Amino acid sequence: MRFFRKSWKYQVTTVIKYLFLILVAIVSLYPFIWVLISSFKDNNSIFGDPFGLPVKIAFENYKEVWAGADVGRNFLNSMIVCLTTLVILIIITSMGCYILTRVWKNTFLSTYFSLGIMIPIHALLIPSVLIFKKIGLTDNLFSLVLMYTAINISLSMYIMNGFFDSIPREMDEAATIDGCSRSQIFLRIIFPIAKPGIATVATLAFLNCWNDLLMGLVLISSPQKKTLSLAISALKGSYATRYGLLCAGFVISIVPVVIMYLFFQKQVIAGMTAGAVKG
Average pLDDT per block of 10 residues along the chain, 279 residues long:
63 85 89 87 80 78 78 87 92 87 78 79 83 85 89 86 80 80 82 82 87 86 85 71 81 84 71 51
Task: Look at residue 269 in the predicted model and tell me its pLDDT.
Answer: 67
The domain ranges of the chain are 2-38, 70-236+250-273
Task: Look at residue 251 in the predicted model and tell me its pLDDT.
Answer: 87
Does residue 197 contact residue 271 with C-beta atoms inside 8 Å?
yes
Nearest CA to 210 out of 119, 90, 84 is that of 84
Task: Look at residue 277 in the predicted model and tell me its pLDDT.
Answer: 45
Task: Look at residue 239 in the predicted model and tell me its pLDDT.
Answer: 53
Please give the backbone phi and psi of residue 104, each rounded to the nearest 5 degrees, phi first.
Answer: -130, 85
Does residue 244 contact residue 264 with C-beta atoms inside 8 Å?
no
Which alpha helices (H) appear in the chain, and where do they start and end? 2-5, 8-38, 43-48, 60-68, 71-98, 107-114, 125-135, 141-166, 170-177, 182-185, 191-193, 195-211, 214-219, 228-233, 243-263, 265-273
Does residue 89 contact residue 152 with C-beta atoms inside 8 Å?
yes
Task: Look at residue 278 in the predicted model and tell me its pLDDT.
Answer: 45
Question: First and final CA of the chain: distance in angstroms?
Answer: 37
What pTM was estimated for this model as a whole? Answer: 0.79
70-236+250-273: CATH class: mainly alpha
Task: Look at residue 3 in the predicted model and tell me its pLDDT.
Answer: 53
